[in-house]
Amino acid sequence: MPYKVIPLSAIRIEALRDPILLEGLPGIGLVGHMAVDNLIKAYGARPIFEILSTEFQPISMVEDGDLRPQRNELYLLSDTSIPRDLILLFGNAQASNPGGQYELAECSLRLAKGMGCRLVITLGGLKRDSVTPTPRIFCTATDRELLSMAVSKGAGILQGRVFGAAGILVGLAELMGMSGLCLLAETPGFFGDAIAAKAILLFLSRLLGAELSTKELDAKAKGLADALEKMGRGIDEEGGRPPREPSTSP
C-alpha cells in the first residue's frame, strides 16, 4: 500500500454532527490551504489522522525549525457556533503524480465517510491575469440542488476543468455515494493570496449559515491589499499613465 494512515486522537463518531469534509491542500495561490489553516488556528481544530505516502515528493519540509515529511492530515473542528462539524483535510503537499492523487483522495474520502460524512466541499484558486479587489467565487457540484444552493449565495458557475485534489475529491465523492461541491476564488496566483482565501471563507459562511472566523487572515489580507495598492501607485508614477499630447498653436 503506497500510503499509511496514523490515528492521532480518538473520535466518538456517534457524537459528530452530520460532518462535512472540507479540503484545503496547497494549490493555486494557496487559497484553500490558507482558508483551512485559518480555521484550524482560529478554532483550535484537533488533528485526528495523519496520512503519509510514497507518492509525495522525496523531500521534507521545515516548519518552525522542525523537519517534517510531506503529509496530509485530517482535523476535527467542532464548535457550537457552526451548525455542522467540519473534517478539515489539510497538509503541506499534494501527491506528485495522478495515481497518487487518486489513492490519497480515496483514502481521505473513506476516512471521512466512516465518520458519517455525506458532503465534500473543496476549496481552491481560479487563476486570473489581473488583480481583483473583491474576488468572485465560482462553483461546480455533483448535483443540481447543491449547485443551485451555491449560486443562490452569489457564486458563478464554473466552466472548464478543475485540477488536483479540488477536482478529484468531488468527482470520487459522487462515485462513493457522497455529494460534492467545489468552490474556487479568483486569484492572480500570488503565493499566499490571503484576499482570495478570506473571500472564500466569507462565502462559505453564507453557505453554512455561520459566521466563520477570519481573524488569522485579516492582517495578511490587509497587508496584501496595501502592497498591491502601493504597487499600482508606483506603476502610475513611473510611467503607467499614457503621455500627454504636446500642445499646438493655430
Report the pLDDT averaged over residues 141-151: 97
**Model pLDDT for residues 156-188, shown as the tens digit of each residue:** 999 999 999 999 999 999 999 999 999 999 999
pLDDT at 236: 56
pLDDT for 1 beyond 70: no
Q: Enumerate residues 6+ apart whose C-beta is below 8 A from 18.
A: 84, 85, 116, 118
| Rounded (5°) CA angle 141-31-209 | 55
Q: Is the per-residue pLDDT at 249 higher than 80?
A: no
Is pLDDT above 50 for 48?
A: yes
Range scoring the smallest mean pLDDT among 65-74, 124-133, 160-169: 124-133
Q: Is the pTM of this model over 0.85?
A: yes
Break the chain into its structural domains and give their ranges: 3-7+16-230
- 201-210 per-residue burial string, b: 16 or more CB within 10 A, e: under 16: bbbbbbbbeb
The pLDDT tens digits of the residues spanning 189-240 come to: 877 999 999 999 999 999 999 999 999 999 999 998 888 888 777 655 555 5
In the block, cell 462559505 appears at 204
Residue 92 has pLDDT above 70, yes or no: yes
Please state which of the ranges 82-91, 122-131, 175-184, 232-241 shows the lowest mean pLDDT: 232-241
**Grid coordinates given for 202:** 466569507
Average pLDDT of the segment spanning 53-74: 91
CA–CA gap between residue 5 and residue 88 (Å, rounded): 15
The span from the CA of 49 to the CA of 247, in Å, is: 72
**pLDDT attached to residue 244:** 39
Question: What share of the chain has pLDDT > 70, as a percent?
Answer: 92
Closest CA to 48 of 107, 106, 112: 112
How is domain 3-7+16-230 classified at the architecture level of CATH?
3-Layer(aba) Sandwich (3.40)
- Angle among Cα 95, 27, 124 to the nearest 5 degrees reads 125
